[in-house]
Structure 1
């Protein structure tokens, strides 16, 4: 049995996940499922897995997706995968250690999910949900809906109509600047829209004032005996 710190390891591997653009949510879900089974086996150097159990834990419904992801995790040095061609003997897994410097205690059997052996494990989905939530918090490439844009424009002291113009314009071109470059932060784009709208509004006001002044101009030499 290896001396593995549950919290340190998860923190370390999640940091690695954030840096690795090759991974998708299925890879992460599969890794966490394997980690939980490793935890259930008291962090043995190597342990055997049951494919159906791992697929159920990781919420993977396709065998081909499962085999593809587990082989890629092995190739990318997150685990070592020893596939078994014996239907009566499961494949073998060796886990690499990813640990940070925080000093927290080992955790083996927290409540939430039970394996076929009856031992309780920490919820797999909890860690995946945390990652997805962090992504959603930072997602600013486009607003959730029109109402979110209206609320933003109201805070900036602009009208609902202008907010709807902004939303409909970028919704129509797929939230891309000039229809080409994907927007990174829609709120920053909205502020630029407001600045331009303010400039147009000021120019129109100046033009209106100028026209009114021209209409009021009179000639000092006007002959009032001339008919209108």
Structure 2
């Protein structure tokens, strides 16, 4: 497998695939780097927490959804493990077109001995991000996408509709002025504020139900004070 040809091919595929979002790409790049670290075996085992940390994914739910989708869309083969001491197995499909020499990235060498330049992986990542501007996160495609996202975060459909209708009504802008960059991040902030509001209402309700006077209807007013 040729390292460069593989990256060029898979990133080209990313740019054409409208189903992907930046989380899918981040997860794939993380798995590719682990595959690289293991010197490109046929398959390898992963640690879920490590992958989530490296790919900057915010929740286990999002991680499981994205890795299953990458599996379903034939970017890789994912075999989940239910053994805490034995990680899930990953097989990365070869997107290269030739059986050329594998080029391992180096932190010190800019080029190879024959003068061939090794393109830094960051350049490939930036290229695919630029080519996938069609997959913007400034607003969801529709209300159903918001409902699915809220359900994945264990929030009810009603709260998702409140969020969608609110921001749909103000043109997906924060405070009606600043354009939203990532609607999912805005949705998470919405959830946090909703939790805080629930806490405040609970405290107020408890305080209102507390009888601070402790009066008794059986008081004998003939008793001396």
TM-score normalized with structure 2 length:
0.50
Which entry has the higher C-alpha Rg, 1 or 2?
1
Higher relative contact order (CA 8 A, sep 6+): 2
TM-score normalized with structure 1 length:
0.49
